[in-house]
Structure 1
């Protein structure tokens, strides 16, 4: 039979899978052959990005999904969602009323996979290293509220923060805060290539061709001590050039599980299928897609141009023609299911209108049609991205106000070019580092933002973001979060498009798929095992 596993609406702290029919449970053997997992994520080392898997550099969902299996963090997001819980730590918590001093005690007997003992000094080394290297990926900014890291003996680490940060426990659950061995990771240099060493639930060996991982083999780490129950002994992650090739591998039995990114057509076919051998798992997701702007570029430097684009783009048409029920229009950087969300773009622009867009440009004395190129990545977010950008191009050009072209590039060249400001307008996706509104705002709008955007609003960075972080009760932070979203809708440094669900397809004898991905698109390979076909 075809089975779906649905997740309750993604309200933070309330997420929990609801299983229909059989399968997807925690049962299953930890023995047997390796479970083969397919992905279209590409893991490439280039001249511009020679250290894709160094925790101090990596900052995309694909590389993080390798690091989350192998590099341990003090905190971790729990299986059923909610607030982060201790992982390498035995306990962690704020020790002051102002949320500016955060202390962690390490779990007894922690070791790296090679048997070396882990001490508080290793934690300090790892955090200080990421901050000092200040990699151009921008991932270090997740730790930007840290002032100093103090150790007390071998087992206690104290973080002194520059300012209150109620989201700090979440940040300690991200790979940039991963604990690394000083013997393997130099203090002043990123670790090039694809070697990863840590104390997580697995060790990893990579098969590399042409400076790209084609297969990563995760083997259960016998020295692992943490909260996770590892339900298999080995997982092979195999990278495919596209969704079609990955789908064929599942059909042939070459892989057991198919993860991101499946095409909309594949998902629909699996959803409609009565095939007894393959199951589709549907989960709530917090992925968003958006257009980003180099606000210093002549073509889009005028706010009126960006506002006109916001007034013209028809999100509903994009969703219906490309993604169907697998996505929904998004009118803010913050997804609708996250506390603090506001429909700021809809509130300001309403329904798409050529007349209103023309009035915006006329008032700013902008000559039309405006020539610009929309850039997108051909391989990072799935094959549907091209069709999405063809529709965006048509919407802009049909208005008569724009003369837009589109250009696609592989992620290995797209991301460095975007970081260097070579694109005026470009499409990006965001898979949250942690499920909080702050992580949909600060990474784009604070200083050292991961886009390298020249846009800066002092009220956002100096007042509103710090104020929102002082509120441990995230509902109480909503007024500040809404104010940020309203400014973004007015200035349009980024233009949100849609938010999507996420899916896993698996052969019938694989269990644990209900938890294979969490709401932040974290791949949890340790949940997979083999059971009895249902």
Structure 2
């Protein structure tokens, strides 16, 4: 919730088949030479979420992929690496040793795509607006530590924090801190629909059908002031009904790049070079999949029940049989390629062990079989999700200790229901907002966690997380992060399942595909270009 969804697997798309074959006369991309990306993501407006491209409400991979390329932030992540660098800011830094006062000087001559000047007042407006609207489905938790914002001059901004936070510069790289035109956006209400005005490298024009986004046209923003130098003046993002339709369009040359949505079987074909003229770029991903338990609910509110499930789940079977080894088993909320990771769940529970699960339930006086419903979303993480939950159901029921049912719910209903705690146990995915172990811990374990989980551990919330945020040298916080991971493994408010790799498929004449994602898996359209002779 990134927001939050995984780079794999496929998600239900939007385009009808009539729109999937829109290539230019040379069989490459759009008629005007724009680089065309395909995705099966679904971005739609609903009664519960009427503003899918408003930074105050948008909090998922698909929406952030649009926002990141149209809006500027004070800081951004470089092409590679995890240390934030200035974006709309000329320079930024903490003004105290406690990491509580953050000061930025803006670049000179900043403008929005509509020509309006961008000043420090717009920065203050944008941060204050996020905190004022406080949308329960949005990314407000990333900025909840902001106490007040001051604007000494038109180019200076001083952000005062409630508590020390060395990760705050990283939070300013996310669309949660997108800079908005105070003459366009209202300070106390969402901007409904799909129109947007920013100051990023691209300006975006959206095409909508039946309250669903079907196409985004990105063109170079002539008013952009910053270090990013787009390799293409025009980029188009199209949304497909299915992964097979998208694969057909890529093979024909109607689209140039696929950054999201292929099934594990299609990934395998691409990896073997079976799709002519297309290259596949693979990197170790930071997206995770996990189960959430309402620790105040009947049945799963009993710790022994959650621990028994942890004893029974076979992650190896999930990644082998469902995801065809495009993912890896995960034994912590923090992925194994992020600093401070430790295999807490494996250390606590080891390999699947029905006898250990039975002992945990018996010692707690829990009668078996335990009746439980696992809920998942049918149209956000792809068709493999249903198969994954069938496998989980089978694993738990085979033990004889559980009688599990599964229930699929559409994302437009599923996501708004999470803060209301409508489901006792359900599946979710997460992509990091920024590349730091804090972003796999705080969003889940603080009082204002984005899922509305009632789980609390006073030591984690009041001592360990604040202490990790005081460490500007992030490796020094590893001991506290490991203690937190061990606490989660013991209490099991969440059960990590797997982490997925990241894949980008691109036609051979496309350059920059290997840099399409930054270190937080944020899409960087400006890296894409066409090679000589294309």
* TM bucket, shorter chain: over 0.9
Describe how 1:336-351 pairs up with structure 2 within 5 A.
336-351=336-351
Describe how 1:240-255 pairs up with structure 2 within 5 A.
240-255=240-255
Match of 1:26 in 2: none
Note the C-alpha offset of 1:84: 0.6
Greater displacement, 95-104 / 239-248: 239-248
Unaligned runs of 5+ residues in structure 1 are 1-30
CA contact (8 A) 2:339 2:478 kept: yes
Describe how 1:405-484 pairs up with structure 2 within 5 A.
405-484=405-484
Describe how 1:228-267 pairs up with structure 2 within 5 A.
228-267=228-267
Match of 1:7 in 2: none
SS of corresponding position for 1:347: helix
Unaligned runs of 5+ residues in structure 2 are 1-30
Distance 1:508 1:462, change over 3 A: same
Match of 1:102 in 2: 102
SS of corresponding position for 1:116: coil
Match of 2:325 in 1: 325
Note the C-alpha offset of 1:299: 2.6
SS of corresponding position for 1:448: coil
Match of 2:190 in 1: 190
Describe how 1:492-511 pairs up with structure 2 within 5 A.
492-511=492-511
- Asked if residue 283 in structure 1 is aligned to residue 271 in structure 2, the reply is no
CA contact (8 A) 2:77 2:519 kept: no
SS of corresponding position for 2:323: helix
- Aligned counterparts of 2:528 and 2:138: Cα–Cα separation in 1: 32
CA contact (8 A) 1:138 1:448 kept: no
Describe how 1:47-62 pairs up with structure 2 within 5 A.
47-62=47-62
Describe how 1:281-430 pairs up with structure 2 within 5 A.
281-430=281-430
- Aligned counterparts of 2:275 and 2:186: Cα–Cα separation in 1: 51
CA contact (8 A) 1:278 1:506 kept: yes
SS of corresponding position for 1:59: coil
- Asked if residue 132 in structure 1 is aligned to residue 160 in structure 2, the reply is no
Note the C-alpha offset of 1:32: 5.7
Moved over 3 A (4+): none
SS of corresponding position for 1:259: strand
- Aligned counterparts of 1:433 and 1:427: Cα–Cα separation in 2: 19
CA contact (8 A) 1:112 1:199 kept: yes
Distance 1:225 1:401, change over 3 A: same
Greater displacement, 83-92 / 55-64: 55-64
- Aligned counterparts of 2:91 and 2:188: Cα–Cα separation in 1: 30
Q: Deviations 1:220-278 (Å, cap 9, x if unpaired)?
A: 11001112111111111111122222112212222111111211000001111254411
CA contact (8 A) 2:69 2:200 kept: yes
- Aligned counterparts of 2:196 and 2:180: Cα–Cα separation in 1: 9
Match of 1:153 in 2: 153
Task: Give aligned pairs, total.
Answer: 504
Note the C-alpha offset of 1:288: 0.5
Note the C-alpha offset of 1:483: 1.2
SS of corresponding position for 2:418: helix
Match of 1:226 in 2: 226
Match of 2:80 in 1: 80
Note the C-alpha offset of 1:325: 3.1
Q: Deviations 1:298-337 (Å, cap 9, x if unpaired)?
A: 1311111111111110111111112233211110000111
Match of 1:144 in 2: 144
CA contact (8 A) 2:273 2:279 kept: no
Greater displacement, 512-521 / 458-467: 512-521
Match of 1:17 in 2: none
CA contact (8 A) 1:54 1:190 kept: yes
CA contact (8 A) 1:207 1:216 kept: yes
- Aligned counterparts of 1:364 and 1:143: Cα–Cα separation in 2: 40
Greater displacement, 512-521 / 84-93: 512-521
Match of 1:35 in 2: 35
- Aligned counterparts of 1:67 and 1:220: Cα–Cα separation in 2: 14
- Aligned counterparts of 2:386 and 2:252: Cα–Cα separation in 1: 28
Distance 1:425 1:128, change over 3 A: same
Q: Deviations 1:206-231 (Å, cap 9, x if unpaired)?
A: 11111100111111110011121111
Q: Deviations 1:92-116 (Å, cap 9, x if unpaired)?
A: 1111111111111001110000111
Note the C-alpha offset of 1:381: 1.8
- Aligned counterparts of 2:227 and 2:488: Cα–Cα separation in 1: 39
- Aligned counterparts of 1:251 and 1:303: Cα–Cα separation in 2: 50
- Aligned counterparts of 2:490 and 2:333: Cα–Cα separation in 1: 13
SS of corresponding position for 1:429: strand
- Aligned counterparts of 1:274 and 1:481: Cα–Cα separation in 2: 43
Note the C-alpha offset of 1:533: 6.5
Q: Deviations 1:27-56 (Å, cap 9, x if unpaired)?
A: xxxx96111101111101000111111111
- Aligned counterparts of 1:129 and 1:342: Cα–Cα separation in 2: 38
- Aligned counterparts of 1:361 and 1:154: Cα–Cα separation in 2: 63
